[in-house]
Amino acid sequence: MFYREAGQFKTNHKADQAIFPIFQDRVGLSMIVAVAFLVPMFGSDFFLNSIMIPFLIFSLAAIGLNILTGYCGQLSLGTGAFMGVGAYSCYKLVTIFPEVNILIHILLSGFFAAAVGCVFGLPSLRIKGLYLAITTLAAQFFLEWCFIRIRWLYNYNDSGAIEVPNSTLFGIGISGSQATPTARYYAVLAIVVLLTWIASNVIRGRIGRSWMMIRDMDIAAELMGIKPLNAKLSAFAMSSYYCGVAGALMVFMWLGAAEVESFNIDVSFQVLFMVIIGGLGSLIGCFMGAAFIWALPIIIRAFPGFIGLEIGAATVEHIASVVIGALIIAFLILEPHGFARLWQITKEKLRTWPFPYS
């Protein structure tokens, strides 16, 4: 009805190559971004701090993992550790260069994660599939060990935790205890929007295609002149960069302090679930998956109180786990390709509605 591309003719390749060639898609995206920037005006601090900020951070981590798993086809269970590398290197950068702005440190810390990701990506040249997943699991445990044993990483403090100092941008606190959730939200949003835009650009170009070629048929990819080393390691590097930035954001813009438990295997699995439920090989799916896995439990836990039921906190917790588990199973049976596919089908249906065969 309203979602039609009728009359929108493309007369050159430039227009046809656009990410959103359909006008309604562009309007929709602008509206979503506009709403995202207006959220702090309506949302409470709790809403920003417990839902929106972590949702954006996990979306970024999911984009990172999706680049590797969804686009390049290399399964990884080391996401949590790569996020940790970003967080700890950001902490060290802040310690060593305290005068440099925190946002620059956060963006730089991703490069350390990228370097570590490349090293642990090397086995992917020989090992595929589940076996590769096990080697990334080794990365997870090895790096966790480093975060505990290399005391230099947390400046030899006794707690073993990293703590965030206060820092400002244009005189407004954006991280540490002084920063308001609104300021932190805008910092996170800006970084996530920027990196999502970059990811979408890389994915639709030569490099993104080389990843998908490796994913779909690695032998044929080589015959088209793709070097597996370059394609796989660039995917590992970019993926780990995103995870590293997400890890740094997690500590500096959300948690305020972190120790090794913040980057354990549970985080890796959580991000993997987001990617699978959101849809492998889709950027919008990363956001949907993160919303589902992160926000839904909070809503379910709040639900009994909302309708006035008096249930103990522990019981609510258990019920939430059961409901979410059941929802995940039901959803994966109904749509194994995740929210992204569901979204795509909806759009296809809308285009031809009410004439299903036109």
Largest CA distance in the chain: 69
Q: How far is the CB of 328 from other proteins (least distance, A)?
A: 24
Judged by CB under 8 A, the stretch of 121-129, 156-164, 218-226, 244-252 that binds other proteins is 218-226
- Contacts with other proteins: how many residues (CB under 8 A)? 28
Regarding 25 and contact with other proteins (CB under 8 A), the answer is no
Tell me whether residue 220 or residue 299 sits nearer to other proteins (CB atom): 220
* Cα 69 from chain centroid (whole Å): 12
Q: Is 126 in the site for other proteins (CB under 8 A)?
A: no
Site string for other proteins, 145-184 (x = CB under 8 A): ----------------------------------------
E-strand stretches of 119-264: 162-163, 167-169, 172-175, 257-258
Residue ranges in 20-101 assigned as alpha helix (H): 23-42, 45-46, 53-65, 79-96
Site for other proteins in 182-201 (CB under 8 A): 198, 201
Q: Which is nearer to other proteins, 222 or 259 (CB)?
A: 222
C-beta closer to other proteins: residue 113 or 260: 113
Q: How far is CA 263 from CA 26, 84, 86, 167, 328, in A?
A: 36, 5, 10, 23, 23
| Cα–Cα distance measured from residue 355 to residue 358, given in angstroms and rounded to the nearest whole number | 6
Among 222-230, 247-255, 288-296, 305-313, the segment contacting other proteins (CB under 8 A): 222-230
Mask: binding to other proteins, 293-322, rule CB under 8 A, as x and -?
Answer: ------------------------------
Q: Which of 155, 141, 100, 165 is nearest to 264 (CA)?
A: 141
**Among the candidate windows 42-50, 185-193, 226-234, 309-317, which touches other proteins by CB under 8 A?**
226-234
Separation CA 272–CA 130 (nearest Å): 14
Q: List strand residue ranges (DSSP E) for the chain, in order.
A: 162-163, 167-169, 172-175, 257-258
Binding residue for other proteins, selected from 98, 129, 160, 205, defined by CB under 8 A? 205
Dist CA 114 CA 238 (whole Å): 6
Of 85 and 226, which has the nearer Cβ to other proteins? 226
- Options 92, 105, 184, 215; binder of other proteins; rule CB under 8 A: 215
* Spatial contact of 263 and 80, defined as CB atoms under 8 Å apart: yes
Question: Is the CB of residue 140 less than 8 Å from the CB of residue 78?
Answer: yes
Q: Who contacts 124 (Cβ-Cβ below 8 Å, separation ≥6)?
A: 74, 132, 135, 232, 236
Positions in 275-294 near other proteins (CB under 8 A)? 281
Q: Is 26 in the site for other proteins (CB under 8 A)?
A: no
Does 234 contact other proteins by CB under 8 A? yes
Chain residues in the site for other proteins (CB under 8 A): 13-14, 17, 198, 201-202, 204-207, 209-210, 212-213, 215-217, 219-227, 234, 281
